Amino acid sequence: MSGKLLIIEDEAAIQSILSEVLTDAGYTVEVAGDGLEGITKFREQSFSLVLLDIMMPKLDGWQVCREVR
C-alpha cells in the first residue's frame, strides 16, 4: 500500500500506535498534536487521508474538519 496520511491527535500514545501500525502497512505518516498544527500541515502538504480526533486543544476536530473541507 502507499499513500500519505495525516494523523491529528493530541494524545502521544494514540499518535504512536496509529503511526507505527500505518507505517508498517506501507503508508507515509505525518502527525500533528493539535488542530492548529493539523491545519498548517494540511495546507502545506497533500494527503490521501486525514485521521482526526474530535476533542483536542486549540481547535477541536469539528472546527478542523470544517476548515479542511
The model's pTM = 0.92
Based on its alpha-carbon atoms, the radius of gyration of the chain, rounded to whole angstroms, reads 11
In this prediction, residue 2 carries a pLDDT of 79
The alpha carbon of residue 48 and the mean position of all alpha carbons in its chain are separated, in whole angstroms, by 11
Q: Is 68 helix (H, G, I), strand (E, B) or coil?
A: helix
Confidence of residue 1 (pLDDT cuts 50, 70, 90): low
DSSP characters over 3-66: -EEEEE-S-HHHHHHHHHHHHHTT-EEEEESSHHHHHHHHHHS--SEEEE-SS-SSS-HHHHHH
pLDDT (tens digit per residue) in 2-59: 799 999 999 999 999 999 999 999 999 999 999 999 999 999 999 999 999 999 988 9
